[in-house]
A = this chain, B = another copy of it.
Amino acid sequence: MTAPLKNDRFLRALLKQPVDVTPVWMMRQAGRYLPEYRASRERAGDFMGLCMNPEMACEVTLQPLERYPLDAAILFSDILTIPDAMGLGLYFETGEGPRFRKAVRSAADIEALPVPDPDKDLGYVMDAVRTIRRELNGRVPLIGFSGSPWTLATYMVEGGSSKDFRLSKAMLYDDPQAMHALLGKLADAVTAYLNGQIRAGAQAVQIFDTWGGNLSAAAYQEFSLVYMQRIVAGLIREQDGRRIPVILFTKNGGLWLERMAEAGADALGLDWMCDIGEARRRVGDKVALQGNMDPSVLYAKPEAIRAEVARILAAYGSGTGHVFNLGHGITPQVDPAHAGAFIEAVHELSARYHG
């Protein structure tokens, strides 16, 4: 049915199998820094219109692959599709972050939340995965993703973005039982959602824990990591005879890598504050690493970008187990030529560390 993979470097590196050069992709690679993306979004009307239309989601997913020799595609979608499918009414206001029409503030609110069925309630995402897999036609693997339970919970309790997580942290500390009930429900929903994406054709999945790194070490362990661990344990790990690698990315989680490495994932995503060489020594052979250039280095000139890529490759050292990426999503003001210089530098400069 599906074409064999022409480029499987990304999957091989995640599983610590030998590769010719270090594979590379960029978080938010289908994003506003690309003029063709801005044009598609204009046509779609709004951001969620783009996410909910499988043909258009496919179109923008493939745009960065037309420009650059990237080693993976990532499903174009939003991390808040699950709370939206739970009935909270996601919307975006211009110039502001995501908002929900209904927020979750009490044990009764949590009790009332349904666990969405991916095929029935998030069919547009599953359709997008199938469409993208078909259009990719084996060029590179497709990554599926979800937000982590804690990250989703912050938006659901706050009713949108937050600077200090006032309501979600008050719930966590005042009523840990209610917070655990919410996180447990979200862990079930994320597990079903990612398994739906895997069945639809995702060849690797990443859990984005954008806000876990804003918790104390103790609260991170209890309210974020254990739920990601539970999800990983419930995921389909082989499909069509091939292992489905799982990547865990806690932004600002550099202090906790040893514990994250025990969660059952194949790889950890690193932000740029971590030295990747130290990170490799700390996690040993347990997991592969993905990262970790400061996305703001892309504001510098191509020579400076190349020097920073060289520094990170040298810090990681020889051998497989490294997927190059930015330490966070690429930002809207980056010059697309600079992103190109970044990707080219990774492929060119990494050959000497392999084979």
Contacts and interface: CB of A to CB of B under 8 A. Distances in A.
Given A254-B255, A273-B252, A174 B300 contact: yes
Contacts of A252: 252, 273
A170 B299 contact: yes
Contacts of A254: 254-255
B217 A299 contact: no
Copies in the complex: 2
Contact of A164 (B166, B173, B331): B331
Contact of A217 (B169, B174, B273, B296): B273
Contacts of A274: 217, 255
Interface string A142-169: 0000000000000000000000111101
A169 B297 contact: yes
A218 interface: yes
Interface string A255-278: 100000000000000001111001
The dominant DSSP class at the A interface is: helix
Contacts of A166: 296, 299, 331, 333
Q: Give the one of A172, A278, A296, A333 with max B CB within 10 A.
A: A296
A300 B164 contact: no
A301 interface: yes
Contacts of A214: 273
B296 A164 contact: yes
A48 interface: no
A299 B216 contact: no
A183 to B, nearest CB: 17
A117 interface: no
Contacts of A297: 169, 173
B299 A169 contact: yes
Contacts of A217: 273-275, 278
Given A164-B296, A217-B273, A252-B273, 15 more contacts: A164-B331, A169-B296, A169-B297, A169-B300, A170-B296, A170-B299, A173-B299, A173-B300, A173-B305, A173-B308, A174-B301, A213-B273, A216-B294, A218-B311, A255-B255
